[in-house]
Amino acid sequence: MQRLVALFALAAFGVLILVSLNSRTPGGTEGARISFQIATGASDTTLFTIGQAVAGLVSHPPGVGRCETSMVCGPSGVILSARTSQGSFDNLTAVNSGLIDSALVQADMAAAAVKGQNPFRRVGPLRHVRVIAALFAEDVHLLVRADADVSTVSDLNGKRVAVGAPGSDTAAVARDILNAFGAGRARCVSSGDPAAELAAGKLEAFFVIAGAPSPVVVAALQGGKAKLLPLDGDAAQGLLRDNVQWQAATIAAGAYPGSAATPTLATRAVWIVNDRSSDALVYGLVRALFNPANHAALAASHPAAGEIDIATAAQTLPAPLHSGAARYYREAGKL
């Protein structure tokens, strides 16, 4: 019953963030009406689901009774809205240029962005990206067709593997994993609906990077036509040594119907803003995000959101911390 109440509360506040986005005060002052967007991912992703929950809880539109409680909402007048996007690359470049207020992105992509590495080589280092908070783990899911002759990652050599669109978040990670695990000769392709193509026999495997459970993975595993392949051993350890934004992880038993615990790799979802964002605004957003009164509703939005914790929010960050967020963490004794 408590979970239903929390979900109802989130839905109600999700409606509120869609109204009254008729003016914007850059930088923001107390009492002004401030529209503030969070770019996430596709509509069926964990990032979008949790982005909506954060927006609903942190928004502080006029006349909302719960926001009269000290620090449970963001600064007065701020109205957040989650929007879909093409993923971390687009989110990072848009935030860096000031085209979007904030975004949820993969930590490994943020680290590459500020260094101008991997898919960001052509655009160069993104110098205006700042972190508000590290939020939750995004697990690598490697799904293989149940009837394919694949028991280890190296068995994917010569087989069709959907790794996402060129330059996407997933594509760079998938290729690194395939190479590290001795599957560099896999036939990497992109797919608009990898779960359906796997079930139809058009693919042998595909990658998803998301907080578990992911709707795409649920669809692929239904009916026993796919299985999760573990990512562990020496190859995984090598990848962990090469990139501090990756960590060993386990997709918990039962995270998907009938699934066993599956070792894997994970990065983190981080909330980013432009370095020119108002200190007062960012401070207020972080303060509301970590107000204990909001934790139950966040966790009810998606299991991965239950991991959002001030204790880890400012640790091993992929980009500099925004000064407004840094002020909050210092006051909370976390810096």
Does the reported pTM lie above 0.75? yes
Say what the pLDDT of residue 165 is. Answer: 83
β-bridge mates for residue 129, sequence order:
274
Q: What share of the chain is helix, strand, coil (3-state, %, to 5)?
A: 40, 20, 40
Say what the pLDDT of residue 169 is. Answer: 81
Say what the pLDDT of residue 17 is. Answer: 39
Domain ranges, residue 162: 139-267
Q: Are residues 154 and 113 in the same domain?
A: no
Examine the fold and report which residue of 241, 267, 293 is the final residue of a domain before the chain moves on: 267
Q: Are residues 153 and 186 in the same domain?
A: yes
3-state secondary structure of 324: helix
CATH code: domain of residue 310: 3.40.190.10
Residue 46 CA to residue 256 CA, distance in Å, equals 14
Q: Are residues 232 and 256 in the same domain?
A: yes
Q: Are residues 132 and 157 in the same domain?
A: no
Q: Are residues 158 and 259 in the same domain?
A: yes
Residue by residue, pLDDT tens for the chain (335 residues) are: 444 334 434 444 443 333 333 333 334 444 568 899 999 998 989 999 999 999 999 999 988 888 987 789 999 999 999 999 999 999 999 999 999 999 999 999 999 999 999 889 999 999 999 999 999 999 999 999 999 999 999 999 999 999 988 778 888 899 999 999 999 999 999 998 999 999 999 999 999 999 999 999 999 999 889 999 999 999 999 999 999 999 999 999 999 998 999 999 999 999 999 999 999 999 999 999 999 999 999 999 999 999 999 999 999 999 999 999 999 999 999 99
At how many degrees (to 10) do helices 46-58 and 2-16 cross?
80
Q: Are residues 323 and 229 in the same domain?
A: no
**Which residue's structure tokens are 């001795």?**
182
Q: Are residues 60 and 155 in the same domain?
A: no
Q: Are residues 165 and 103 in the same domain?
A: no
Q: Are residues 242 and 320 in the same domain?
A: no
Residue 98 CA to residue 92 CA, distance in Å, equals 10
Residue 186 CA to residue 167 CA, distance in Å, equals 18
**Which residue's structure tokens are 């068995």?**
155
Residue 124 CA to residue 139 CA, distance in Å, equals 27
3-state secondary structure of 108: helix
Say what the pLDDT of residue 328 is. Answer: 98
Examine the fold and report which residue of 267, 288, 321 is the final residue of a domain before the chain moves on: 267
Say what the pLDDT of residue 44 is. Answer: 87
Q: Are residues 243 and 145 in the same domain?
A: yes
Report the number of distinct structural domains present in the chain: 2
Q: Are residues 15 and 130 in the same domain?
A: yes
Residue 290 CA to residue 300 CA, distance in Å, equals 15
Say what the pLDDT of residue 10 is. Answer: 41
Contact call for residues 258 and 222 (beta carbons, < 8 A): no
- Which has the closest alpha carbon to 232: 251, 245, 259, 204? 251
Q: Are residues 159 and 190 in the same domain?
A: yes
